A and B are shown apart, each in its own frame.
Chain A
Amino acid sequence: MHGYGRTTASLLFLAGLVVMLYALFQALPFGAAPMQVGQEIVSRAPGETGAANIVTAILLGYRGFDTLGEVTILFVAATAAGLILSGAGAGDLPKAPGGFILKAAADLLFPFLVVLGAYIILHGHLTPGGGFQGGAIMAAAFFIPLLASPTSPLNHSTAALVEGFAGTAFIVIGLASLMWGEAFLTPFLGKGTLGDLFSAGSLPLLYLAIGLKVGSELAGLMARIVEVGGKS
């Protein structure tokens, strides 16, 4: 039975891996890891960026260029998935519409999800959350109606338009800080009062761009998978 050999080998490999990870984690004292950068950032970020949420300050203020790369990776993945799925699902099956409860709940949930997503995006520099999290909620708002009534598909060209504008806005904001005489994507427009909605300069604008981009991208991606999944 060749199947047993593979299972035995995997289990042995697993046991070794667990022992190795356990030994590594033993050497890392919990709650007192020898990392000083974080505490330095915590003490300096509020004065330097004006964002109350320090994770946002890191993500957009200190490593905004990395975030641009991250958004690009998501864009490439979504594009590649769309490319792979285009033309998939040759034999069409009629898609069954959702029941009354799903339809009513989708209509009811839609405005709340949009408002919640917008709130999380716009308060990304003050409270937990931000463009990625709020964008995912926005995508859910547009995705749930699609599950309820699959016959009215998502408007892909509108989603692509929003995505393109948001991506361009992110880069334009980055270029604008060059005009202020700073490096690419350096926060500008003043810091404001710590904790105010209109504070932290250009960081909320960047998060708004990310939120719209992630939202339209994820909604389009999930819509494509559903459109194919309903067929094959």
Chain B
Amino acid sequence: MSPDALLVAEYLGRALYGGAILLIAIGIYAMVARYNLMRVLLGLALVESGVNLFLVAIGFRPEAAAPIIVGGVTDVPMVDPLPQALVLTAIVIGVGVLALAAALLIRVKETYGTLDTREVAKFLAAEPADAAPAAGTAVAGTPARETVNAGSAS
């Protein structure tokens, strides 16, 4: 292994690990400090990207090829294929989680007229527990529903 390759690997490692930490940090910040549920969801997606980036990065080997055999040559060094297979699974499941969360957000917006957690908490506190928000019925006539109508009329 040449010294150049080691140097490249060191800088690449710092960039990739740093990038993963940065993505996770931005995502966590969006999840804990923001009130808009859409931003919380985007934060979740960012954390996921950061973790995936980290997992793929730990499979790196200096001067190694992608784990695909080309032309029957099997004795070249290859990067670790295991994290890649795991991340493929993680990405697919992430898509499922995001889609399900997006569907829930659509219902929240429809029911309460807002995605702000503070506003939703106010409605939840104002409603009696037994009249749980069955979508479209429980909060009909409250300011939330009027906001929705005003929003769709404009």
B contacts, CB < 8 Å to A: 9-10, 12-14, 16-17, 20-21, 24-25, 28-29, 32-33, 54, 57-62, 66-72, 74, 78-85, 88-89, 91-93, 95-97, 99-100, 102-104, 106-107, 109-110, 135-136, 148-149, 152
A-B contact pairs, 15 of them (CB 8 A): A10-B33, A21-B24, A22-B21, A31-B60, A38-B59, A38-B81, A45-B81, A54-B68, A70-B93, A74-B92, A77-B95, A77-B99, A81-B99, A88-B106, A90-B110
* A-B residue pair count with CB separations less than 8 angstroms: 170
* Chain A residues with CB below 8 A from B89, complex form: 59, 66-67, 70
A55 contacts the other chain (CB 8 A): yes
* Chain B residues with CB below 8 A from A53, complex form: 67-69
**Bound CA–CA A74/B100 (angstroms):** 10
**A175 shortest CB reach to chain B, Å:** 23
A contacts, CB < 8 Å to B: 6-7, 10-11, 13-14, 17-18, 21-22, 25, 28, 30-33, 35, 37-39, 41-43, 45-46, 52-55, 57-59, 63, 66-67, 70, 73-74, 76-78, 80-82, 84-85, 87-91, 93, 126-128, 130, 132, 194-195, 214, 218, 221, 224-225, 228-229, 232
A25 touches B69 (CB 8 A): no
Question: B14, B85, B100, B106: which contacts A80 (Cβ < 8 A)?
Answer: B100
**B18 shortest CB reach to chain A, Å:** 9
**A120 shortest CB reach to chain B, Å:** 13
* Given A30-B57, A225-B99, CB of A91 within 8 Å of CB of B85: no
* Given A54-B78, A55-B81, CB of A10 within 8 Å of CB of B106: no
- Other than A58-B81, A91-B148, give 20 A-B pairs with Cβ distance below 8 A: A7-B33, A13-B32, A14-B25, A31-B13, A33-B59, A35-B58, A42-B67, A53-B69, A55-B81, A55-B84, A70-B93, A81-B99, A84-B104, A84-B106, A127-B68, A132-B91, A195-B71, A218-B95, A225-B103, A229-B106
